[in-house]
Structure 1
Amino acid sequence: MSDGKPPRHVVLVGFMGTGKSTVSRRLAELLACGTCDVDAEIVKREGEEIAAIFAGRGEREFRAAETEALRAVLGAEDALVVATGGGAVLSPINRELMLRRGFVVALTADPEQVIARVSQDPDRPLLQGDVRRRVYQLLEDRKGVYDFAHLTIDTTSLSVDEVVERIAQAISRFRTSQHSI
Structure 2
Amino acid sequence: MRNIVLIGFMGTGKSTVAAALAERLGWNRVDLDTSIEEAENATIPQLFADKGEPYFRRAETEALKRELDGREGQIVATGGGAVLAEENRGIMLANGLVVALTADIGTILQRVQNDPNRPLLRGNAEQAVPELLERRKHAYDFAPVRIDTSDKTVEQIAAEIVEQLMAD
Smaller-chain TM-score bracket: over 0.9
SS of residue paired to 1:156: coil
1:169 aligns with 2:156: no
Aligned to 2:152: 158
Shift in Å, 1:77: 2.7
TM-score, L = length of structure 2? 0.98
Structure 1: 4+ residue segments shifted above 3 A:
none
CA distance in 2, matches of 1:125, 1:69: 19
Matches within 5 A, 1:1-181: 8-174=2-168
Q: How well do the aligned residues superpose, as a CA RMSD in angstroms?
A: 0.9
- AA aligned to 2:35 is E
Give the length in aligned residue pairs: 168
Tell me if the contact between 2:116 and 2:123 (Cα under 8 Å) persists in the aligned partners.
no
TM-superposition CA deviations, 1:57-84 (whole Å, max 9, x none): 0000000000000110002534100000
CA distance in 2, matches of 1:114, 1:42: 23
Percent pairwise identity: 48
TM-score, L = length of structure 1? 0.91
Rg comparison, structure with higher value:
1
CA distance in 2, matches of 1:117, 1:77: 31
CA distance in 1, matches of 2:78, 2:123: 24
Instruction: Could you tell me which runs of 5 or more consecutive residues in structure 1 were left unpaired when the two chains were aligned.
Output: 1-6, 175-181
- AA aligned to 1:154 is D
Shift in Å, 1:50: 0.2
